[in-house]
Structure 1
């Protein structure tokens, strides 16, 4: 289940908030400011306070009607007790936000915080900080929203109000989950659930906390615990006899079902939720449920039904001004149109949806949408558009990888600095001990000369022990450094080298003048190096249909097969996602195509047994000799990899399960590397580059020759060479 699907399921953000961000916000909206959270300020609630609480539940599902009633109650609240005025401001904030009036919601939240500060009431201030964080999140100011949830926790730290502390604990837990810190998130959410079980006068708090705990377990792939928490959630929700709460619980059930590979259960939960929402007239909830339904039918390739539900979702989200759900509905509608052959309409809707992801800086969802966009365009026959979408996705993927790499470096640096400071503290402590021993020795020398020999003996023992301790500490440090080096070099899933190791290897090899740049390869000799870049065909379909564990098994199979097909001296790299790169430092020039053929045949011949099912996959490959030297000047290895990547995209665009190889360049004085990199296929057709194709099977080769689909030079039959 990808990021966009998880958001649609409501696992991270609840049914009314879809964009990426802290589940804390949605959780707090579900839980926030229930009667027990404010009754502590008024021993006996006024009739006005009771009427506000009656409107509160309506606000969750039909906010426009609730807002009208709350505005009528404002005049009566002028002289009301503090808890009543605070609750009115709280509900005005939430109703305005749910109705799409962001500025009015933010003003009400600020007024609530100012009111609490004027009374020096930390409970009211904390509530104000919480609801303001909801509004900031709705305005896509995620960083500020995160910070306010942490501020609310500090403000309410000493409060005796158990209900409020439970709500804030869940909110902070969801914020940690949004930041990827799952251990801290789990501690906070479990604490929030434990406290909610002790709030006997308001079961809504427990329902909201359990909802978020199910979502976190689902994110962590702990489906057994998620199912147990969901069972308790459904039981507690049933006790409330609230159609709106049950609809929200069914959305959570959908999220767990779709993530754990239960599509029928997921569809049933969605339809049950939609029926409840329509009876309530809960337009905002319906927008999300409808877009989830369209996504479910897209997976079944039922494009007319997917388009129907996406169109209904668009109408609903435009009524509620929910831009994030509208963006996802447009992406789904675009994919359905492309599947139905309505290419121009499909592209228009797809681009409109992705524009919103770009506005929100939601790069993970944008990357997923671009990949699906390219596949949909390819199926519809728009190969040029597909290649363009793949290039956009590749560029974004590289940006995300670079960001992750920088974060990893910073984390390693921070860990190194921490260990360094600890070692310095230990050394200072040892130095102080030695100095203390020396002072004692001087005193002993002055007082008792006859104990001098004994003191020196004791000092020697102490120094020896200290020396052994330091040596032992240094040995442990060396072991840890070796472990860290191994972790930073190998991919944990496949035990292949990772991308960073390959980059370091190429940089160091070029700097040291190692055989990577053997001059024989620049003058047409028979021995060359080679680069191979391969990508698993339709890998997303395996994850969608069989789950991520099956996808991991496929990646491990490919890694083992590459170890068999290639030599021990060849470098095999997990390049990222479902991509692998192989660098062969030396092989006969006429054997490059044969290696590509072995890779294709070796992987496609493997069968993986997974949960009583047999899976098989194909790969697409791009390759070239290395180094590439147009006009006699070798290209940097980065540009060579980029050209191989473009050859890989040609292999995908022309049918998959094949390899495209770049042999060399012609008439280079009439073109430039920049022009070739912009359009490799166009450069080949213009005669500037020489490409070869290796098919995954003889049947595909004969079919291509018969139909003249790929008029490229066929790879030569394998020569009798040393086994590779």
Structure 2
């Protein structure tokens, strides 16, 4: 799993924690403040750097300086409140940190100083993030950005731009995050009196480029970061830069460079006694050995990180250490211990409500459980990951539609302004005409002619504008029903279509062809196997090419009358309204073979792709009562996960139900595999070419395997 980057360094499995914001908080929040005649302000700045690495000692110094701050200038007093908040938070005293931040906000408001108030909001946002109150933390950052919009304090503006960028990254809005971080770096270059600002901004930018897999740009920014760090002559800052170098190296496939950077960082941190940084670097070392499948050493470093983070009360890094320890234990065969540690770590991720991180952790959790044979646990993890994936996909889709709507509204307003301007011009012309009528009667005919021409032109322009509005309306309607990448229908359109269908009537006899074959509808749900590996290895552009290829293959394999839907990130759904019942398995086979037989040429790579499929006739009718379409799709989704858990590159189909009076639909939906083994569900499996593992009960000389009888044997 990709690591997360922050001001301290890189920690496994998380894009960013509060440490990112704190890294900036420890930059001079009041860089460019007026010089204090006494030595108080320089001593506060010294304590700021001390707080970066040994916060307990810095807190003692800052508390001692409080007695000298009464008559100091506002900028100096504000910086003292800010550093008290930061140092208390780093020392694990969040209540005291919050009190100092609130005092700073009140101080700024009493002076009617928006810059000081914005700094207070930033300090409070860091404490909220450390408490896992992520949404409230983001809101504080956005409020601070509004207050500081017109500030002449370049250091403050750079800090806020970078922190807002990191907040957008946590929310999954990476384009906005990149714009903010690039602006933050540009602003930091103008802060000539403190190079630490540029260090923090560059560090955040390298981490974001790495997360986006823009490794060339990340490498260029890293070179500048290391060059600026050398100028600071700070062992602590160099340790941070080395952790950032580790993040880029491990993600771009340079394990030796990554390990060397980590060990250099750990040596610097231990010499300084920076325990909080040590805990993070130890968890990164654990991650490094996990990638090499050296599970004993990964567990050793994860345990060391746990002991360190428990001393510093760093809950976020402790959670990541537990996830690493859980994966190491699973790799060593200590399944119960591994699951316990993994779940404990993910509980913190859920508390922080950081959906992208939790999704990545669940995906790895499912793969790890699948490797050790815990298929039920793997399916459960995949279901949890799927729910988050669908939620994030829907948010991104809604965001795209909103952006298009905003653009449309802006263009509409501009056209209205133009029309109003033209109307004003006409009115002015009419006034001039009246004056001309009074003075020069012989020009009356000419004036009327000119007015007619103007009206005609305006009429034509209005007609043209209305035509353009109609085109835009059609474009907007298409955007709301089609997926922009694949040009397939989107989930919302399918849901609206199914809600508009008349529910099936069990009292009506089923239609039959002249051959006597049953005619049914069918649902197919497919998921790309190991899609994350394609994105990780070749980049998201290659992943997009794969999705387009699958969409095209589905158009070829299915009919024009069939509805094909981009269901989620790498999921597709097909609804076939009328096919012979005996042909459902054959269509599943056609989908599997059609996709696996194609290879994508991307740059110099050739990428082969398989899919797993769940399918069923529609409607599904247990006990003479048709299932609603939502429950039918859910059952097909469970069949899909059986296909993934039993080896991938295959399709599992729900044919029907048996002995339904002895069970219930709720029990079947709770555990489809157990219901099949108990003989309540009739399944079939269709194998793709060269599947990874054989099905549970294969029939010889066939790639379509009926599972009904095998289920009875397995169940008893």
Question: If the length of structure 2 is used for normalisation, what is the TM-score?
Answer: 0.86
Gap change, CA 1:49 and 1:353, over 3 Å in 2: same
Match of 2:511 among 516, 520, 523: 520
Q: Which residue pairs with 1:560 in the alignment?
A: 552
Contact 1:247 1:277 in 2 (8 A): yes
Cα deviation 1:5-51 (Å, max 9, x = unaligned): 34x232899879968568972452252337x443x242x442x4443
Q: Which residue pairs with 2:682 in the alignment?
A: 690
Match of 1:229 among 203, 221, 227: 221
**Alignment coverage as a number of residue pairs:** 702
In structure 2, distance between residues paired with 1:556 and 1:12? 40
Q: Give runs of aligned pairs for residues 162-561 of structure 1, distance below 5 A.
A: 162-179=154-171, 185-186=177-178, 188-404=180-396, 407=399, 414=406, 417-418=409-410, 421-422=413-414, 424-426=416-418, 428-429=420-421, 431-434=423-426, 450-508=442-500, 510=501, 519-520=510-511, 525-561=517-553
Are 2:1 and 1:29 equivalent residues in the alignment?
no
Contact 1:218 1:259 in 2 (8 A): yes
In structure 2, distance between residues paired with 1:88 and 1:81? 11
- Alpha-carbon offset, residue 234 of structure 1: 0.5
Gap change, CA 1:664 and 1:94, over 3 Å in 2: same
- Alpha-carbon offset, residue 102 of structure 1: 0.7
SS at match of 1:491: coil
Structure 1: where are the runs of 5+ without partners?
A: 716-724
SS at match of 1:96: helix
Q: Which residue pairs with 1:141 in the alignment?
A: 133
In structure 1, distance between residues paired with 2:411 and 2:215? 37
Contact 1:522 1:627 in 2 (8 A): no
Structure 2: where are the runs of 5+ without partners?
A: 709-716
Contact 1:307 1:333 in 2 (8 A): yes
Contact 2:7 2:22 in 1 (8 A): no
Contact 1:294 1:307 in 2 (8 A): yes
Q: Which residue pairs with 2:706 in the alignment?
A: 713
Contact 2:528 2:609 in 1 (8 A): yes
Q: Which residue pairs with 1:573 in the alignment?
A: 565
In structure 2, distance between residues paired with 1:201 and 1:455? 68
Q: Give runs of aligned pairs for residues 77-88 of structure 1, distance below 5 A.
A: 77-80=69-72, 82-88=74-80
In structure 1, distance between residues paired with 2:445 and 2:181? 64
SS at match of 1:493: coil
Cα deviation 1:173-217 (Å, max 9, x = unaligned): 444555555565555544443443344332222212222232344
- Alpha-carbon offset, residue 432 of structure 1: 4.8
- Alpha-carbon offset, residue 452 of structure 1: 4.2
SS at match of 2:567: strand
- Alpha-carbon offset, residue 77 of structure 1: 4.2
In structure 1, distance between residues paired with 2:247 and 2:446? 75
Contact 1:648 1:659 in 2 (8 A): yes
Question: If the length of structure 1 is used for normalisation, what is the TM-score?
Answer: 0.86
Gap change, CA 1:76 and 1:456, over 3 Å in 2: closer
Contact 2:6 2:23 in 1 (8 A): no
In structure 1, distance between residues paired with 2:100 and 2:345? 31
Q: Give runs of aligned pairs for residues 615-634 of structure 1, distance below 5 A.
A: 615-634=607-626
Are 2:591 and 1:599 equivalent residues in the alignment?
yes
Contact 1:214 1:229 in 2 (8 A): yes
Q: Root-mean-square deviation (CA), in Å? A: 3.8
Higher mean displacement: 100-109 or 684-693: 684-693
